[in-house]
Structure 1
Amino acid sequence: MMLPAPIELASFGLLAMALLLQCLGLPRSSLLAGTAAIGLAAYCGLLQLLGLLAVVLAGGLSYVVYRFPRPAWTALWLALLLALALHVLPGFDNPLLWQGKLTPDSQPYRLFWSFDKGVAGWLLLLGLHDAPHHGRAWGGTVAAVGVLLLVLVLALAQESGMVAYAPKLPAWLLPWLFANFFLTAMPEEALFRHGLQRWLENRVEPLPALIAASLLFGAAHVAGGWGWVGLATLAGLGYGLVYAATRQVALAALAHLAFNTAHLLLFTYPRPG
């Protein structure tokens, strides 16, 4: 395993700080940390010219959507953020930390630190700062139900043969935890829960909003086959219940991280070979 160079580590650290500050409702401090992260990333080559232009454009649109919300601007902004999150746009040199098979019966896996997906999640949270929300927190009992549902999903995955019991402790666990929380779970929960589920709750009843957001989260995993779509939909319900219970995207991301960590440590990862 190779860790990024110190200046790259500093850039990712500042991006993580920007995400946390935004979750804490400190947009000015978050903006300062995020801007510094982008500057360092450009200086050390994580961000190249086309990537920098895309990030600057997405940042400008985040401001426009926050100050002057219009459907056309919002649609363009979301399309650009999705392109960043899906690694469609050129100009990013995301470092590869490890590649190989964790166990003989698993598919090959590559551990990246994806600056483009992390910055997309941060800009989404920044643009949604103070976005209206008519829902209320459902309380701790609902959060507990969400966590129990996530445990059930892992049990269903094993019983169906979609994963197999394979306990392990990778040497790169800490870098993986950082990447999975800040560069995967946070951006995904920002989109599907704080973005989509919240937006739907302002237009329909909370339960249909939760189900619709979970179905779309499941559909995003269609590359793994219909079985994975079903499991991801149920997992999305679990994350959505934690979000509905707390109205905190960071707590939904922690539930997402806990689920993925249990998958990594106890079962074939990313899936059986």
Structure 2
Amino acid sequence: MPFAARQALPLAVLLASLSLGLLSPLACGIAVAFILWLALDTHLPAWLWLAGTLLGSSLLAAHLLPGVAVLPLTGMQDLGGGAPWQLRFNPDKALLAAGLLAWWLGQASRPWRSPQWSMIAAIAGLLLVPTLAVSTGILGWLPKWPEHFWPWLASNLLVTCLAEELLFRGLLQRVLVKRLGAAFGLVLVALLFGAVHLPFSPAFALLASLAGLAYGLVFHFSGERLWTAVALHGAVNTTHVLLLTYPI
């Protein structure tokens, strides 16, 4: 995809967020700097670009960017979790997804390593993660059809799953597998993915690590095709919201 077309993605999210009054001038300036930084991946030393990208990504993913407002899209809903849930638009995470996607679309594609093992990892992850969640009591069994399911699915796939898979698999896993080998790289990224879920609970973080390992294996065996990890991540999250207590 041409460079200009790729950059239109984060710029569209930025303009939409500004038009909704969700970004302060400071937040807008930092977001623009992050988008420009990502575009310099071939012009900076690899370690410097990676460090800056991880810093900016962490600020956006953890909602630490000052001057960002959240837009509620639905009312509060009780989906069986420990607290009511509400569908919201987080412009910082949407900017992260769009910015990293613009970078990712400029990367060269690679051949499949093993479609069979990629499928096995996907099926195992989709079955094991919910089963362990219920059997260990981390989550409860609660089949339901939530109101606003389709908007939730679109938001979860295009913002949450996309941003997290771009950061953890598209960026971190590729770097760590190259430097440490497949086994160590995959496990380390899975543990890091689990660690960011520690605010929910240590048990949920372990479950997230297992899910992260499945996403990483699918990504690895597919020849680093991002859509495979995003699809599995979305399928696990959909199983969660439709069959289990949500969010926790």
Check 1:206–1:98 CA distance in 2 against 1; reply closer, same or farther (3 A cut).
same
Quick one: distance in 2 between partners of 1:232 and 1:149? Answer: 14
SS of alignment partner, residue 121 of structure 2? helix
- Among 59, 66, 70, the alignment partner of 2:35 is 59
- 2:241 equivalent to 1:258: no
- Among 115, 123, 128, the alignment partner of 1:152 is 128
Please report the TM-score for the alignment, with normalisation by the length of structure 1. 0.82
Q: Offset at 1:249?
A: 1.2
Q: Offset at 1:99?
A: 4.5
Which residues in structure 2 correspond to 1:79-90 (within 5 Å)? 79-90=55-66
Quick one: distance in 2 between partners of 1:261 and 1:144? Answer: 18
Q: 1:38: which partner in 2?
A: 14
Instruction: Give CA deviations for 1:138-178 in whole Å, capped at 9, x if unaligned.
Output: 32221222222221111011111111111111121111111
SS of alignment partner, residue 146 of structure 2? coil
SS of alignment partner, residue 247 of structure 2? coil
Instruction: Give CA deviations for 1:114-133 in whole Å, capped at 9, x if unaligned.
Output: 12112112223434555589
SS of alignment partner, residue 73 of structure 2? strand
Check 1:88–1:204 CA distance in 2 against 1; reply closer, same or farther (3 A cut).
same
* Alignment gaps of 5+ in structure 1: 1-24
Q: Do the aligned partners of 1:143 and 1:245 also contact (CA within 8 Å) in 2?
A: yes
Quick one: distance in 2 between partners of 1:217 and 1:26? Answer: 31
SS of alignment partner, residue 170 of structure 1? coil
Which residues in structure 2 correspond to 1:1-273 (within 5 Å)? 25=1, 27-103=3-79, 106-128=82-104, 130=106, 137-150=112-125, 151-246=127-222, 247-271=224-248
Q: Do the aligned partners of 2:57 and 2:167 also contact (CA within 8 Å) in 1?
A: no
Q: Which amino acid aligns with 1:122?
A: A
Q: Offset at 1:183?
A: 1.2
Q: Do the aligned partners of 2:141 and 2:243 also contact (CA within 8 Å) in 1?
A: yes
Check 1:32–1:126 CA distance in 2 against 1; reply closer, same or farther (3 A cut).
closer
Q: Offset at 1:60?
A: 1.9
Q: Do the aligned partners of 1:145 and 1:238 also contact (CA within 8 Å) in 2?
A: no
Instruction: Give CA deviations for 1:202-244 in whole Å, capped at 9, x if unaligned.
Output: 1122122111111111111111222112111110111111111
SS of alignment partner, residue 65 of structure 1? coil
Count of residues paired in the alignment? 246
Q: Which amino acid aligns with 2:190?
A: S
Q: In angstroms, what is the RMSD of aligned CA positions? A: 2.2
Q: Do the aligned partners of 2:215 and 2:232 also contact (CA within 8 Å) in 1?
A: yes
Check 1:105–1:238 CA distance in 2 against 1; reply closer, same or farther (3 A cut).
closer
Q: Do the aligned partners of 1:115 and 1:183 also contact (CA within 8 Å) in 2?
A: no
SS of alignment partner, residue 167 of structure 1? coil
Q: Offset at 1:105?
A: 5.9
Please report the TM-score for the alignment, with normalisation by the length of structure 2. 0.90
Indicate the percent of aligned positions where both proteins have the same amino acid.
Answer: 30
Instruction: Give CA deviations for 1:36-61 in whole Å, capped at 9, x if unaligned.
Output: 33223323313331221111111121
Q: Do the aligned partners of 2:13 and 2:94 also contact (CA within 8 Å) in 1?
A: no
Quick one: distance in 1 between partners of 2:101 and 2:238? Answer: 24
Check 1:105–1:60 CA distance in 2 against 1; reply closer, same or farther (3 A cut).
closer
